[in-house]
Structure 1
Amino acid sequence: MAKQTNEQIEASINDSTHALIAFRKDWTVDAVASALALARLLETRGKKVDVIADDFKPSRQVSFLPTIESIAAEFNRLRKFVISLDVSKAPIDELTYDLVENQLNIHITPKTGQFHPSNVLSRAADYKYDLIFTVGTPDLGSLGRLFSEHSELFYHCPIINIDHDAQNENYGNVNVVDITATSTAEIVHHLLAKNDRPNEDVATMLLTGIIASTRSFRTAQVTPRTLDTAAELVAAGARRDEIVQNLYKTRSLATLKLWGRALARLKYDPEIKMVWSLLVRQDFIHTSSNEECLPEVMDELMVSAPEAEITALIYERDAEGSAPASVCAIVSSERHADALGLVSDLQPEGHRQLARICFLTGDIQQAEQAVLTSIRKSLGKTKQPEFISRINRLTATTTVEKDKPDTASVILGSVGLVEQKNTETPPMVNGNGADKTEQPISLLTKIADGLSLNELTDSNIIRIKSDGQPDVRRSNTSRAPK
């Protein structure tokens, strides 16, 4: 980072009294953790700090972070409204007010003389913020209503823009955009924390951002600097076990059930190294889950298929408020530089790690085809994918055990080597139909226990319980020493 940039940031902080830290409405764990850490670091310098994100509601994944409750969902008391009265010729004797039908009436009685309308002036006072930090926010528009309804604030105050996204528009007065960093938290650490010696809470926040952004150091973007930063934070007292437990090892029962249904329909295209699955309305109803569970389901799908570089979930979404019912898709990219770029012709929202698309017309199969076509086009793969006409190595047919109606056993043979002429669509329910466990289902790809996408054999047994959860194990034969 250039010395001049550091000096500008230090000067801006020293000259400020009340700072705003804002991040995008479609936030990431990295953005939340970085914002909280930055707030703590500024508070240790005696600054007033507010952290705000449009309509922010903390998910279970970030609820363990210290001071998470301090993040506001909207501006509060952004600026005062000032009414000025010239009293040079008429001193005040009495002042009262009342509120009638949402109208404030101010009553002023002079000691001598009288007041005239020309004696009264009104104006909006200065904003209470004199410095703005944005973290993990590629453009001001992604701040949502914070910017759209209060754009004057962002043009009035100096902005320090901190991000690691190559798509960042460098809109700040000072831009700290380091595309070699794996996370915004890594940048915040090198920007301020190294000089301010973070305590255990701040170190935990920053390490949370790094672990979340690198999927616990499993992405290809991890650098020696990333590992050095993580080591420094652990040495400063970062609670790594607590972070991993909350990010990856705590799943609600509803999320696990929904994950099971997604696994049961998982598909794989080896040419573009992509796994994806479909979820319909009945899946959410039967598992008592909702859309908030989907990010965790995506995380589990990515862990379940390490060979895949692209992961997608396509799901039916109910009408909510003024928003009509639709079919939406979430696309994540592990190694490709930009998930948004993979589906750019579908007008996605999100960020380079996660893109979201919603289709207001068409059914879930049409949405699936649109997403696949867009991704293949972006990757220069225009040939019709093989999985449409031929079963691939990751699908099989369910055999329902008649003596155990609650368990469906799937035995994997050498599938993918011969044509599958009678393959049916995985069990999905559109509309109000009922789910049927007797139908064939597509099988999960990567199984716990290290099962490879390309190593499925007839000794690998996978059971799908009636509640939709997979019970995955290797047979005794597969465990036997060769």
Structure 2
Amino acid sequence: MELTPKQQALELINKSKRILLVTHEKPDGDALGSITSLYLVLSKLGKVATAVVLDQVGPNYRFIPKTEDFTKGLAVLRDFVISVDCSAATADKLAYNFQDGKLNIVITPKSGNFRPQDVSFAEGSFQFDLVIVLDSADWDQVGRPYADNAKLFQTVPVINIDHHSSNDYFGTVNLVDLTAASTTEILVGVIEALGNSLIDEDVATSLLTGIISDTGSFQHSNTTPKALTVAAQMVGFGARQQEIIRNLFKTKAYTTLKLWGKVLSQLQYDAAHRLSWTLVPFSFFAETGASVDETSGLIDELMTSVPGADVVVLISEKEPKVLSGSIRTKKGVDAAEIAGLFGGGGHPGAAGFKLVDLGIDQAEGIIVNKIREYQAKSGVGTGLGESPELIAPTAPPVLPEPVSSSPTPPDEPSGEPAEPSPEAPPALEEESAMGEEKLAKNY
């Protein structure tokens, strides 16, 4: 009988000794909770585990245990094997020396003589015998660790553990559960199957961090009965729930609050299409002293605070002409489907996309109009032919008190695109077409 993906994953983990753990770039609470919990568990099992996280762990996530153990770079080592045919000669002594930048290996024969044709070379094994990729839909999300070491990932068995519907099933074993609220929820079952008493307070805190992060503290539509059950189980194991809530949702740096205020002041709301959006131009970061990571969490605040919006979009320019889009939707509207319009993906309630070589103002018009079209096809609003009135939300999201700690993660902000008019000059129509073409080319 064929083994299930979970059984295959357990078999690989049990027989491996040196395991590499990686996750996506710009890791969130689920990614960090996943890689930390598995790192702690594998270490308990006597495995040599290496957790690679190239990005700086943000202040809001530094409460997660053992993040200081993360490896900031991945230097993949591989043995180089030199073989000598001893059929015509036998070796007596072996020595080596370094000279003029060269390694000289000296073999003294006991009988006969060695010839150059007796020597052959081959690449040996890597220092890792298993790779586990966490919370990543594809190799592009893993980023540099894969790009710089593709041969390792193509040679060594890979376990792909994820819950995103956009997952490419790129692993040797794919433990992908689209019904799970987070990757850490999947890991709970894996860890329990690896052995008894492996989940202590630190492991439970890491696992619960992923669930709370991806469900927005159980406010998002992906909060399932199982997610709540597993969360309760982790609290039973000693997970520090209040510490997680305080760090993820109740602590904001002063620069974060300044950035969020600037973004919220330009919030747009299209009542006809039940759509709200805002921008974060690159200039906002310099103006407020905030880092690009300080937009984290803003999109979720908007989704829970803007009345009447079924779709909320945050477009952030984290580098000039490099845009990240975050989408949140209410039940019944598929965020992943909307993100797919721009080459992105994610979950039904939370998704994202990336665009390059496009100015934020030009991208705003294209993105908003495409979402209006999507909503109109779904029976919401009137489409692009009738420019809907834009109405400001009745109350902005409530922000926490500023703290003196260093910056934390935020999300995106800014203005609203003018609706294309049937009487618009040809030049404007041309510009819009060029933008569409560039967007399509990039994604």
Question: What fraction of aligned residue pairs are identical, expressed as a percent?
Answer: 30
Please state how far the C-alpha of 1:4 moved relative to its aligned partner.
4.0
Does 2:91 align with 1:96?
A: no
1:68/1:332 Cα in 2 relative to 1: closer, same or farther (>3 Å)? same
1:372/1:196 Cα in 2 relative to 1: closer, same or farther (>3 Å)? farther
2:17 paired residue number:
17
Q: Answer whether contact 1:311 1:333 (CA < 8 A) is retained.
A: yes
Q: Distance in 2 between matches of 1:42 and 1:159?
A: 16
More helix by share: 2
Q: Answer whether contact 1:315 1:328 (CA < 8 A) is retained.
A: yes
Of 367, 384, 389, which residue of structure 1 is paired with 2:363? 367
Q: Distance in 2 between matches of 1:297 and 1:68?
A: 24
Q: Structure 1: which amino acid aligns with 2:174?
A: N
Instruction: Say which is worse superposed, 157-166 or 382-391, in terms of deviation.
Output: 382-391
1:223/1:297 Cα in 2 relative to 1: closer, same or farther (>3 Å)? closer
1:279 paired residue number:
280
Q: Distance in 1 between matches of 2:328 and 2:170?
A: 26
1:181 paired residue number:
180
Please state how far the C-alpha of 1:263 moved relative to its aligned partner.
1.1
Q: Structure 1: which amino acid aligns with 2:323?
A: C
Instruction: Show the 5 A alignment for 1:379-458.
Output: 379=375, 380=377, 383-384=382-383, 390-394=389-393, 445-447=396-398
Q: Which blocks of at least 5 consecutive residues in structure 1 are unaligned?
A: 319-324, 396-443, 450-482
What are the Cα deviations for residues 283-303 of structure 1, in whole angstroms up to 9, with x where unaligned?
A: 222211131212243344334
Q: Answer whether contact 2:269 2:276 (CA < 8 A) is retained.
A: yes
Q: Distance in 2 between matches of 1:160 and 1:327?
A: 31
1:171 paired residue number:
170
Please state how far the C-alpha of 1:210 moved relative to its aligned partner.
0.1
2:55 paired residue number:
56
Q: Distance in 1 between matches of 2:108 and 2:91?
A: 6
TM-score normalised by L of structure 1: 0.72
Q: Structure 2: which amino acid aligns with 1:360?
A: D
1:69/1:316 Cα in 2 relative to 1: closer, same or farther (>3 Å)? same
Q: Structure 2: which amino acid aligns with 1:70?
A: D
Q: Answer whether contact 2:299 2:328 (CA < 8 A) is retained.
A: no
Q: Structure 2: which amino acid aligns with 1:187?
A: I
Instruction: Say which is worse superposed, 189-198 or 11-20, in terms of deviation.
Output: 189-198
Q: Structure 2: which amino acid aligns with 1:145?
A: R
Instruction: Say which is worse superposed, 84-93 or 371-380, in terms of deviation.
Output: 84-93
Please state how far the C-alpha of 1:373 moved relative to its aligned partner.
1.4
TM-score normalised by L of structure 2: 0.77
1:153 paired residue number:
152
Please state how far the C-alpha of 1:265 moved relative to its aligned partner.
0.8
What are the Cα deviations for residues 378-417 of structure 1, in whole angstroms up to 9, with x where unaligned?
A: 332573569956342538xxxxxxxxxxxxxxxxxxxxxx
1:282/1:27 Cα in 2 relative to 1: closer, same or farther (>3 Å)? closer
Q: Distance in 1 between matches of 2:23 and 2:184?
A: 13
Q: Answer whether contact 2:205 2:241 (CA < 8 A) is retained.
A: yes
Please state how far the C-alpha of 1:6 moved relative to its aligned partner.
4.2
Q: Structure 2: which amino acid aligns with 1:253?
A: Y
Q: Which blocks of at least 5 consecutive residues in structure 2 are unaligned?
A: 401-443
Compare CA radii of gyration and give the structure with the larger one: 1
1:299/1:260 Cα in 2 relative to 1: closer, same or farther (>3 Å)? same
Name the SS for the 2:36 alignment partner: helix
1:342 paired residue number:
338
Q: Distance in 2 between matches of 1:282 and 1:269?
A: 25
Q: Distance in 1 between matches of 2:67 and 2:134?
A: 16
Name the SS for the 1:295 alignment partner: coil
Q: Distance in 2 between matches of 1:27 and 1:190?
A: 22
Q: Distance in 2 between matches of 1:276 and 1:141?
A: 27
Q: Distance in 2 between matches of 1:391 and 1:126?
A: 62
Equivalent pairs counted in the alignment come to 389
Please state how far the C-alpha of 1:65 moved relative to its aligned partner.
1.0
Q: Answer whether contact 1:90 1:114 (CA < 8 A) is retained.
A: no
Using CA pairs under 8 Å that are at least 6 residues apart, name the structure with larger relative contact order, 1 or 2.
2
2:436 paired residue number:
none
Does 2:233 align with 1:236?
A: no
What are the Cα deviations for residues 109-142 of structure 1, in whole angstroms up to 9, with x where unaligned?
A: 7477765432433222112222222221222343
Name the SS for the 1:170 alignment partner: coil
Q: Structure 2: which amino acid aligns with 1:24?
A: H
1:109/1:177 Cα in 2 relative to 1: closer, same or farther (>3 Å)? closer
Q: Distance in 2 between matches of 1:348 and 1:62?
A: 25
1:136/1:17 Cα in 2 relative to 1: closer, same or farther (>3 Å)? same
2:104 paired residue number:
106
Q: Distance in 2 between matches of 1:231 and 1:28?
A: 22
Q: Distance in 2 between matches of 1:217 and 1:306?
A: 19
Q: Distance in 2 between matches of 1:447 and 1:385?
A: 32
Q: Distance in 2 between matches of 1:133 and 1:156?
A: 13
Q: Structure 2: which amino acid aligns with 1:38?
A: L
Q: Structure 1: which amino acid aligns with 2:351?
A: L
Q: Distance in 2 between matches of 1:108 and 1:368?
A: 68
Name the SS for the 1:293 alignment partner: coil
1:355 paired residue number:
352
Q: Answer whether contact 2:269 2:390 (CA < 8 A) is retained.
A: no
1:330 paired residue number:
325
Name the SS for the 2:68 alignment partner: helix
Q: Answer whether contact 1:269 1:387 (CA < 8 A) is retained.
A: no
1:312/1:29 Cα in 2 relative to 1: closer, same or farther (>3 Å)? same
Please state how far the C-alpha of 1:349 moved relative to its aligned partner.
7.1
Please state how far the C-alpha of 1:79 moved relative to its aligned partner.
1.7
Name the SS for the 1:346 alignment partner: coil
Q: Distance in 2 between matches of 1:99 and 1:266?
A: 66
1:254 paired residue number:
255
Q: Distance in 1 between matches of 2:79 and 2:100?
A: 18
